[in-house]
Copies of this chain bind each other. A is one copy, B any other.
Amino acid sequence: MEKDDLAGMMRALGHPVRLEILAILAKSANNCCCNDVTDCLSLAQSTVSQHLKVLLDAGVIEREAKGTRNNYRVRTDRLTAFNSAFSGYVHDLDAQTSSCDRTLEAAG
């Protein structure tokens, strides 16, 4: 996963309401439309729709048309991939930091 993708995903997830929306979707049997989500939040439908779009564009959720409704569901695969990517990123930072520490120790 590219650094820009990582940052983009972070930004999409970097809003409490959007994290809340993910929790709502997961709790709602993947059978959840925009109105359902809106009922769980004290926000206008258009605002919720906007947040859903951000999550959708980032690939965190997916949409399926079903009659007049749009069913949203969490893309767990993508979240897991993101988590792994970030985990690797942190690990790399840690490895570099530690080796620097060892260098300093050896030098000092």
Contacts and interface: CB of A to CB of B under 8 A. Distances in A.
Contact of A16 (B7, B89, B94): B7
Chain A contact residues, majority secondary structure: helix
B90 A79 contact: yes
Nearest to A22: B93
A46 interface: no
A52 to B, nearest CB: 16
Interface residues of A, number: 42
B16 A14 contact: no
Contact of A10 (B13, B26, B73, B96): B13
A11 B28 CA distance: 26
Contacts of A16: 3-4, 7
